[in-house]
Chains A and B, each alone.
Chain A
Amino acid sequence: MTELPLLRVAGLGKSFGRIRACQGVSLDLYPGEVLGVVGESGSGKTTLLRCLSGELVPEQGTVEFRDPEGEIEDIHRMSEARRRFLQRTQWGIVHQNPRDGLRMRVSAGGNVGERLMAAGERHYGRIRAEAVAWLDRVELDPARIDDLPLLFSGGMQQRLQIARILVSRPRLVFLDEPTGGLDVSVQARILDMLRRLARDLDLAAVIVTHDLGVARLLTDRLMVMRRGEVVEEGLTDQVLDDPNDPYTQLLAASVIA
């Protein structure tokens, strides 16, 4: 396997005052790989995700990203302009609450088109056609392209947020509890969609979740966090079917059905 990792994290640490939110985290993420991060609330998984996506600056360690030209750069040591450019074009963040990721007073089509424009597309007809195609792809009625997301249900907003991120064809996507707070039936639809899109677009992704069912369905590899540290990692089915760490055994034994 000569392929190089897309993201390489070494010795990452972040504290909030005296609380060490995460420490000593290292990982390699390869193109097309979906990594799950599980653990209870307060385990440091969201802090880790935010350090990887550039939203938080870690105190220790490095987060190296390989751009399409093969250039490897530490995302926390590059210029603000460069980081923003990569955030717009190379990676995407799907927030748990779609309101954090959408512009609620801009039309659905505008939300999807915005990232295309940010990536340099200027042709209105092409932008609109792409927006229509993506609404359809995430199972939203393209006839609602001019409606505001405010008028959408929670599940629809989440699908719109996913379309908004994926339209610019990022190579790496960060998802924080993408189905948290949604009805089970709505959740199933979004999971199925994400699973299909990840495969069709050959996306690399890091998904934070506390739901082991979501992890089993969507991820190739799993990291289990507790009190800011990684206590166990491996293939998702290994970690869930043959957990070694006491905490992972407790998590795996607590799954309903």
Chain B
Amino acid sequence: MTAAIEIDGLEKSFTLHLRGGIRLSVLRGLDLRVEAGECLVLRGASGAGKSTILRCIYGNYRPDAGRILVRNGAGTVDVAAAAPREILTLRRMALGYVSQFLRVVPRVSAISLVMEPALERGATQAEARERAAAMLFRLNIPAKLWDLPPATFSGGEQQRINIARGLVAEQPILLLDELTASLDADNRAAVIELLREARGRGATVVGVFHDREVRDAVATRSLDLEAEKAA
């Protein structure tokens, strides 16, 4: 088996200088190996560090210590030590991160936002548009909204556009942070189907899912962070 992600001795704390220098230690020496093609679900109470792990893998949070080896094609990149541009390349080619919140860009249409990651990964305009349209269609975004900027869309619509944006580039590794929170049953089913397809093409998934239905449908393994800490 080859590891898609291999984490050794990951430590992450936050020092809040505006709050008198309080130090919050969130991850203390985490070791974690995720095989290619696995779907690992992170579990644990709020504050256990689930999102922090995902953000460290994505290179969004900078760890205090440890290694985070992420597979990119034939090689691996240590996200904890990589230069900014190496992380950007890794994200473009290998790592998708999806949260439940869409960062809207003024004046940019929904479909353009969804096309972007596919374009960055090398798709042509036509291919990207076709794939983005297919995603939006499957996530039940009415076609009349596609060419509008999502700033005025409902929370659920924005969330689904963000999911489309996160899955459209078909990256080999997907980091999913609560992406189905507050979706209705139909849309949840659509997301489950998309995740099954991603797994079908061999994608590795690490995610936080509070939604049991989604968890049961896609997970191959789960890791309890509370238990990990106590051990």
Contact = CB atoms under 8 A, between A and B. Distances in A.
30 contacts: A1-B86, A30-B85, A188-B107, A189-B106, A189-B107, A191-B106, A192-B105, A192-B106, A192-B107, A195-B105, A216-B103, A220-B85, A221-B84, A234-B84, A235-B59, A235-B60, A235-B84, A235-B87, A235-B88, A238-B61, A238-B62, A241-B55, A242-B14, A242-B55, A242-B60, A244-B62, A246-B17, A249-B16, A249-B18, A253-B18
Interface residues of B, number: 21
A238 B59 contact: yes
Interface of A: 1, 30, 33, 188-189, 191-192, 195, 216-217, 220-221, 234-235, 237-238, 241-242, 244-246, 249-250, 253
A189 B105 CA distance: 10
A33 B85 contact: yes
A217 B113 CA distance: 13
Contacts of B107: 188-189, 192
Q: Chain A's interface: helix, strand, loop or mixed, by majority?
A: helix
Contacts of B17: 245-246, 249-250
A221 B60 CA distance: 12
A33 B106 CA distance: 22
B15 interface: yes
B229 to A, nearest CB: 21
A210 B188 CA distance: 41
A246 B19 CA distance: 10
Contacts of B190: none
B16 A220 contact: no
B85 A192 contact: no
Given A221-B84, A241-B55, A246-B17, A192 B108 contact: yes
A220 B84 contact: yes
Given A235-B59, A235-B88, 19 more contacts: A1-B86, A188-B106, A188-B107, A189-B106, A191-B106, A192-B106, A192-B107, A234-B62, A235-B87, A238-B61, A238-B84, A241-B61, A242-B60, A242-B62, A244-B62, A245-B17, A246-B18, A249-B18, A250-B17
A33 B85 CA distance: 8
Contacts of B86: 1
A230 B129 CA distance: 41
Interface in B54-103: 55, 59-62, 84-89, 103
B60 A237 contact: yes
Contacts of B103: 216
Contacts of B59: 235, 238
A188 B104 CA distance: 12
